[in-house]
Amino acid sequence: MRSFSVVAFLFAFVTISYAFPTFGSVNLAVRKDNGTSKGGDTTKSACKQMQKLTHLTELAANQTKLDELVAKGKMNTTEVDALKAKAADASTKLQTLESNSTLTTECAVIEADQQSKQECRQMKELTKLAALADNQTAMDALVAKKGLNSTQMDKLMARIQKAETKLQTLSSNTTLTDFCATLKQSKGNNNG
């Protein structure tokens, strides 16, 4: 009789284990969001928050800009007053965030990285624009596609000249060009 109850118990255990494979096991899945609620990096989100708060307080302090927004009809005086009240609250929160020296240092690094990436994108666009001046076929195709007149062509040529000057300035920065080359290579390795 005892052997029958042991067999019945084992049979029940095997059946339950088969029916519910996760029953009794602990799920140790790794969270992909590093413990944050929105899936983002908490330092990056704090830096973004600091940027927004800084922008808000600077806008509220710039009466000329506020007057310009009111004159253009983008804001009314009630909205300006609400913005100033919001900026007053934001100012205290911003001071709290800025008092964290580790955070401000990390934000400076993140901002510098973003700025460098932006300059790399700008160099890429300026290179394309400057190359347009040397490629008469592409220039003719652009003129035909856009239907440019002589005034617009002059503006385009001035823009190309300005792009070439800016590109020379950016290209003379070897740190930036090295960073862009490394960035391009790492993107190539990630895609390949």
Mean pLDDT of the chain: 80
Q: Which position has the token pair 């000329």?
A: 64
d(CA 38, CA 165) in angstroms, rounded, equals 43
Q: Domain residues of the chain, as ranges?
A: 42-99, 115-186
- CB-count exposure of residue 180 (10 Å: 0-12, 13-18, 19+): buried
pLDDT, tens digit, 9 for 90 and up, residues 19-32: 555 444 434 333 44
d(CA 182, CA 190) in angstroms, rounded, equals 12
pLDDT, tens digit, 9 for 90 and up, residues 120-165: 999 999 988 888 888 888 888 888 888 888 898 888 889 889 989 9
pTM of the model: 0.59
Q: What is the pLDDT of residue 133?
A: 81
pLDDT, tens digit, 9 for 90 and up, residues 57-107: 999 999 999 899 889 988 898 998 998 999 988 899 989 989 999 999 999
